[in-house]
Structure 1
């Protein structure tokens, strides 16, 4: 039980995707996991679908928020309810490759690292590959993440024997709460180790919060100034570097490149 993985999954009106997400966890070659799905007041059939799975698989648990509070509180509730040594994040529309947990837990034990992220590919709303692959750097520190938003929630795993769980309590903000959490960890001196294998699929839905580039840019700026309280000159430096890298990634990946 010492090596159990708690899978943190927030859900909200995810009936189109949640079944495939859960099945990707059940298909893991690493079987010592629990999946805690916190539903944020869905108005569709999400809860019914999740309860169908939890009724057949005791490793899957569903908690229902009394009111809509956003992904930050849902993820935090899921994380705090978990009993696993490792905490892995999987949103209700994303998918893991079958050997994701096995390879990542082994990687973290071998490296003796508390924080890691796997490489991933991008799929569209229908689950079709877009031939876009994002590869992790060997290590990312605090400043490195500020200027190159490379880490994606679907690939993140934390070893709570090394990283205190209190650092996983997400800031109660509607946008960029995951990035703010990774910065909390990095700011404490932990580096995020990159596992350079494509072990996850990140769904880029057309109606997702991150699909609007202007809103995304505003969110990044707010993260610098309102959450991290960076100075104006350093915020400008980080934002310019972030923007240039974002443009490069968009052009490069649109040609089928591998980041």
Structure 2
């Protein structure tokens, strides 16, 4: 079934990586897609690069926010003009495996689910340094300690995403937690979520990034996890695990860096 998929991207100051990211879409084995990029007030050449691609391929649309509005609003702007049956996420610094779209479309068409994610090769300027693989059948309990998906690997039924109101834009979700809040809403609606058990993107992340996370983001992450516990009726006996980000604040960076790389090691 050759259904159309809308790939939505919020782009911001990613001129150094955007070409490679878009090229990985153009080189896909599946071609019934549209790419909608919304520039969120970039101060480099990101918007111009995206615009040049749109002039060469009619499947590519580029829109622009009048000012920096954050990822949630930016993705909702893309969603508003999308025409595909499925919505797929991608970021301006990540790279798709060549048959990613084909495999996820086939999975969505043959499995009962509202959203499907996948694993990811984790890489930086030195090359691939790990693999992340979320569970095949995530449930709400995973929200206590992590997340059911790697956000840029996800494909969703458009009708399901619209049913929960798209991405929520709040003070908390603006702390890089717009995806986490979306997963909470999916579980609140008893959606079926699954993950293909293989990497389908190259996910760009500095192997030292976790140890450099600022205190305010760890506090926001803790608040989000406690919010998930409340909204999803997680038993009180399990809620202590939601405090993991607070524990990370007092662990030496060298130990956090080791744990972070060990967890994703090939």
TM-score scaled by length of structure 2:
0.84
Cα distance per residue 1:119-164 (max 9 Å; x no partner) = 111111x37211x101131211222233332511111110235x25
1: CA distance between counterparts of 2:263 and 2:161? Answer: 41
2: CA distance between counterparts of 1:78 and 1:211? Answer: 31
Unaligned runs of 5+ in 1: none
Counterparts in 2 of 1:228 and 1:81: CA distance versus 1, 3 Å: farther
Cα distance per residue 1:150-209 (max 9 Å; x no partner) = 511111110235x25132511113120111112211221113101001111111148979
1: CA distance between counterparts of 2:147 and 2:52? Answer: 36
Unaligned runs of 5+ in 2: 249-254
1:3 Cα deviation after fit: 1.2
Decide whether the 8 Å contact of 1:120 with 1:135 is kept in 2: yes
Matched, 1:28 2:25: no
In the alignment, what sits opposite 1:9? 9
More off after superposition, 65-74 vs 201-210: 201-210
1:224 Cα deviation after fit: 2.9
2: CA distance between counterparts of 1:120 and 1:238? Answer: 25
In the alignment, what sits opposite 1:223? 224
- Alignment root-mean-square deviation, CA: 3.1
More off after superposition, 41-50 vs 201-210: 201-210
2:153 to 152, 155, 173: 155
Matched, 1:239 2:247: no
In the alignment, what sits opposite 1:254? 262
Number of positions where the alignment pairs a residue of Structure 1 with one of Structure 2: 254
SS in structure 2 of the partner of residue 15 of structure 1: coil
1:171 to 165, 168, 173: 168
2: CA distance between counterparts of 1:10 and 1:19? Answer: 14
In the alignment, what sits opposite 1:192? 193
Q: Map 1:6-155 to 2 at 5 A.
A: 6-124=6-124, 126=125, 128-130=127-129, 132-155=130-153
Decide whether the 8 Å contact of 1:33 with 1:59 is kept in 2: yes
